[in-house]
């Protein structure tokens, strides 16, 4: 796919829509002149135009007819109405990339009456700081070149993996919901720091940098989490005392149950 000639349309300029705009402009995947965003709110469009110097459009159907790649970034509840509105303006020359949680590609294909090639992506909220963990899968009509193009777009927002669509509920349970689990863990670490005598500000700075640094160690050294944990757990030391309490409380089992429950919920919502 020739990105220089492509025109990218984004349906929905909310939190994720704007994160996508910011990421692809920063990584120079597309120029501002190649980008148009549509939204129901004129005020939001005004803000997006002023901030990112991109084109805006209040007509979803026109956005689709003017774009070669369309990212669907509206909420799942309004998605059927939005897509139906655009069907007449579409055809198979257009690639749709949906980030709507729980909406399967066969459902999208049906809503589009087969008039478009489809890819599904599941980013997470860290797209706002260009550190998303995004999984992508192919849907009806999508080619390898389409998947490469979608991966190039989402690589601008963080890291990407390719999966089969049947694994998208698992992705939702792990990396889609994952930031919330980490925020809960972070909150617990901060409260714990306060309990052992640190000010909230100091506890907060130390706890968030600890999580950030630990994640960076795993991604940069490519060492397993188990090995890195063992490296900092000296015999009879402080860390093993803390780990013992977490293990006794079933920490790992609880996290595994949480991911499984979120995966199950994603399956239910997708029905
Ligand atoms: N946020 C996340 O962390 C995350 C992660 C993965 C996937 N997703 C998916 O990303 C999608 C967008 O989520 P979000 O958090 O960015 O939601 P959001 O902030 O509510 O953005 C959606 C935008 O679409 C607008 N909109 C509503 N109806 C519309 C219509 N008929 N035509 C055009 N625009 C319309 C909304 O305007 P109003 O606000 O005025 O209604 C809003 O600006 C969802 O499908 C969600 O499942 C989100």
pLDDT band at 250 (very low <50, low <70, confident <90, very high): very high
CA 196 – ligand 1 centroid, Å: 41
CB-ligand 1 contact for 178 (6 Å cutoff) = no
Closest Cα to atom 18 of ligand 1: 14
pLDDT of amino acid 176? 96
Q: What is the DSSP letter of 129?
A: G
CB count, 10 Å around CB of 230?
12
Whole-prediction pTM? 0.93
Q: Does residue 270 register a pLDDT over 90? A: no
CA 12 – ligand 1 centroid, Å: 6
Question: In angstroms, rounded to a whole number, what is the distance separating the alpha carbons of residues 231 and 251?
Answer: 20
- Domain 176-269 adopts which CATH fold? ProC C-terminal domain-like fold (1.10.3730)
pLDDT of amino acid 159? 97
Question: In angstroms, rounded to a whole number, what is the distance separating the alpha carbons of residues 128 and 271?
Answer: 29
- Residue 48 makes CB contacts below 8 A (sequence gap 6+) with 13, 18, 21, 37, 39, 54, 56
Look at 134 and 5; give whichever has higher pLDDT.
134
Phi-psi sector, 94: left (phi>0), alpha (psi -120 to 50), beta: beta
Average pLDDT over residues 3-20: 94
> Which atom of ligand 1 is least distant from the CA of 17?
16
> Which atom of ligand 1 is least distant from the CA of 98?
45
pLDDT band at 105 (very low <50, low <70, confident <90, very high): very high
CB-ligand 1 contact for 158 (6 Å cutoff) = no
CB-ligand 1 contact for 73 (6 Å cutoff) = yes
Average pLDDT over residues 95-106: 95
CA 73 – ligand 1 centroid, Å: 5
Look at 2 and 105; give whichever has higher pLDDT.
105
CB count, 10 Å around CB of 205?
14
Average pLDDT over residues 162-167: 97
CATH 1.10.3730.10 positions along the chain are: 176-269
Per the DSSP assignment, residues forming a β-bridge with 57 are 38
Phi, psi dihedral angles at 115 (to 5 degrees): -90, 70
- Residue 180 makes CB contacts below 8 A (sequence gap 6+) with none
Average pLDDT over residues 164-188: 97
pLDDT of amino acid 158? 96
Give the 3-state secondary structure of residue 120: strand
Question: In angstroms, rounded to a whole number, what is the distance separating the alpha carbons of residues 181 and 187?
Answer: 10
pLDDT of amino acid 238? 98
Q: Does residue 237 register a pLDDT over 80? A: yes
Q: What is the DSSP letter of 74?
A: S
CATH 3.40.50.720 positions along the chain are: 8-168
CB-ligand 1 contact for 17 (6 Å cutoff) = yes
CA 33 – ligand 1 centroid, Å: 23
Q: Which of 108, 161, 106, 170 is nearest to 137 (CA)?
A: 161
Looking only at the bridges linking them, the beta strands covering 117-122 and 132-138 are: antiparallel
Mean residue pLDDT of the chain comes to 96
pLDDT band at 3 (very low <50, low <70, confident <90, very high): confident
The DSSP annotation for 5-32 comes to T--EEEE--SHHHHHHHHHHHHTTSS-G
CA 78 – ligand 1 centroid, Å: 9
- Residue 245 makes CB contacts below 8 A (sequence gap 6+) with none
- Domain 8-168 adopts which CATH fold? Rossmann fold (3.40.50)
pLDDT of amino acid 69? 97
pLDDT of amino acid 224? 97
**Residue-level length of the chain:** 271
């Amino acid at each position: 796919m020739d990105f220089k000639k492509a025109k990218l349309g984004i349906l929905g300029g909310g939190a994720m829509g704007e994160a996508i705009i910011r990421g692809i402009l920063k990584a120079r995947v597309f120029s501002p002149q190649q980008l148009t965003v549509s939204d129901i709110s004129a005020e939001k469009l005004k803000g997006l135009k002023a901030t990112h110097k991109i084109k805006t459009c209040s007509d979803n159907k026109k956005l689709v007819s003017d774009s070669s790649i369309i990212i669907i970034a509206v909420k799942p509840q309004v998605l059927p109405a939005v897509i139906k509105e655009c069907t007449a303006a579409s055809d198979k020359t257009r690639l749709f990339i949906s980030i709507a949680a729980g909406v399967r590609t066969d459902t999208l294909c049906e809503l589009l009456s087969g008039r478009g090639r489809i890819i599904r992506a599941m980013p997470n909220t860290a797209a706002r700081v260009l550190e998303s963990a995004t999984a992508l899968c192919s849907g009806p009509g999508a080619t390898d070149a389409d998947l490469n193009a979608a991966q190039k777009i989402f690589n601008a927002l963080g890291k990407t993996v390719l999966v089969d669509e049947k694994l998208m509920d698992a992705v939702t349970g792990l990396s889609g919901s994952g930031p919330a689990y980490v925020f809960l863990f972070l909150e617990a670490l901060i409260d714990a720091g306060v309990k052992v005598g640190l000010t909230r500000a100091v506890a907060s700075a130390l706890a968030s940098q600890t999580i950030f640094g630990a994640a960076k160690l795993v991604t940069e050294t490519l060492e397993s989490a188990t090995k890195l944990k063992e490296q900092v757990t000296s015999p009879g030391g402080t860390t093993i005392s803390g780990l013992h309490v977490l293990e006794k409380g079933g920490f790992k089992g609880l996290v595994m149950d949480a991911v499984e429950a979120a995966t199950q919920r994603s399956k239910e919502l997708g029905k």
